Amino acid sequence: MTERDDNFWNEPYDPRAVDRFAQLPPATKEFLTKLDEGDIKDLKESMQFMHQAKMAGRIFRWVWVTIAAAFFGVIALTEGIQKVIQWIGHGISR
């Protein structure tokens, strides 16, 4: 690993990584050893995209919950105002 790669990942060298690689299944080791720099860049960008997509999903879920709550809140408020107006109207006519 070059100094540039260390700075890219912002992680110091960890000798335990060699032990972890040795414990991987053979198919995984073969996959990882065949990756080139472009593949690693694509994988990193894909992970960032997935993280951003999950975050956007959480945000939009709460946006829709807020919109639905506001909609039903307006309905309830309108119904309450109508009841108050009817109550006042019946009180005046007596």
Instruction: Give residue 43's domain range.
Output: 3-93
Average pLDDT over residues 41-59: 95
* Dihedral over Cα of 10, 12, 16, 21: its sign: positive
Burial 14-45 (b: 16+ CB within 10 A, else e): eeeeeeeeeeeeeeeeeeeeeeeeeeeeeeee
Look up the pTM and report it: 0.50
Domain count, the chain: 1
Structure confidence by residue, pLDDT tens digits, 4-35 = 554 555 566 666 767 788 888 999 999 989 99
